[in-house]
Amino acid sequence: MKEQVIERLIRYAKIDTESNPESLTTPSTEKQFDLLNVLKTELEEIGLTEVTLDENGYLFATLPANTDKEVPTIGFLAHVDTSPDFSGKNVKPRRIDNYDGGDIQLNDELTMSPGYFPNLNNYVGQTLITTDGTTLLGADDKAGIAEIVTAMEYLVQHPEIKHGKLRVAFTPDEEIGRGPHKFDVKAFGADYAYTMDGGPLGELQFESFNAAGVKVTTRGTSVHPGSAKGKMVNAITLAIKFQNSMPVDAVPEKTEGYEGFIHLMSFNGHIEEAKLSYIIRDHDREKFEAKKAHFLEVEKMVKEKFGEDAITVEIEDQYYNMREKIEPVKEIVDIAYKAMENLEISPIVEPVRGGTDGSQLSYMGLPTPNIFAGGENMHGKFEFVSGETMEKASQVILEIVQLFEAQGK
């Protein structure tokens, strides 16, 4: 199984599927269909049924039940797009067998060292797939895709493994927060689902951030600087004052675990107008609402001093903590936990400090925890994944479906 999942990841990683947050289409980039069409053919060839790919880039498929028991329909999901944070074009995956624990020469100029990336120490003796140092790898989430396809193929080839009806979904635009926006939960028809989109071995997540995006626009008046006294209003200066009113320590580089943050993503402008883009994240709903309220309080103060037209703050909620929707059916987390224990994997239950399609899907009526897919150092040139971890992720899928079947009536 390890060789199958590695071969798939390497093949998928070479297909450019980078998403684009500036695009208004779904999927945001047409090239995501390049991988989706490959996957559609592959799912049909390995024996899945009801394989459909719609115009928005949602690929669904079914592995029919082979048990007489009443068993919930379980879905497994992964996303085809890669992050726009770093280039996903012309990816050249490198395979390192029996990693010796030393520095990894990605190319003539770039080295990945366990001194800087101590997580490499967890993979001595394993097979690593890395970048060539010029692109990301795309294990987020092509590793998850490879794990799901490999598990489904194994189940087709081993009908002695009993399971209920299984559904597979490969989706677009997760990296830009739009993965579930046109996901047809009713058509998918699963009772519960799991995203194979986590990080290192053992990750199991059913809590996510509450999330919002904020766009701030400041407006000024441009006057020749030689005669500007008492007349000029500098939108850039207003924007800087606004940013300086944000909490100093509630930023990504100073937070971890359950600590929320306010993250300035971009800042650009000129004297007449400046624009700032933020994201707000917090697991606690009250603290999340307080962070949003702080933006509005600062907006009010700027308007009182410089006028109503001086600033506009637009806040848009993106998703909420999926724990609220998963706790009532916590048995789906318990089954994944048990599946890992059965495979001698130590489960690491921790909150998601990032986006996951499960957050939105859970509020759309499909409770969806997140399971490790194996990627490390994601969204950059130092990204890598272990073949052994990907194999174990496929095995977790197999164990989950058997545990659900064993509980059937």
Active site amino acids: 81, 174
> What phi and psi, each to the nearest 5 degrees, are found at residue 118?
-65, -15
Burial of 299-308, coded b for 16+ CB within 10 Å and e otherwise, reads beebeeebee
Residue 326 · residue 336 · CB < 8 Å = no
Residue 78 · residue 195 · CB < 8 Å = yes
Which DSSP category does 105 fall into?
A: E
- Tokens standing for 59? 């690929």
Gap between the Cα atoms of 75 and 285, Å rounded: 28
Give the 3-state secondary structure percentages of the chain, helix then strand then coil, rounded to 5: 35, 25, 40
Residues making up the binding site: 79, 140, 175, 197, 379
Residues making up the binding site for Zn(2+): 79, 140, 175, 197, 379
**Quick one: CA dihedral 319, 325, 330, 335, positive or negative?**
negative
- Nearest one of 373, 382, 348 to 117, comparing CA atoms: 382
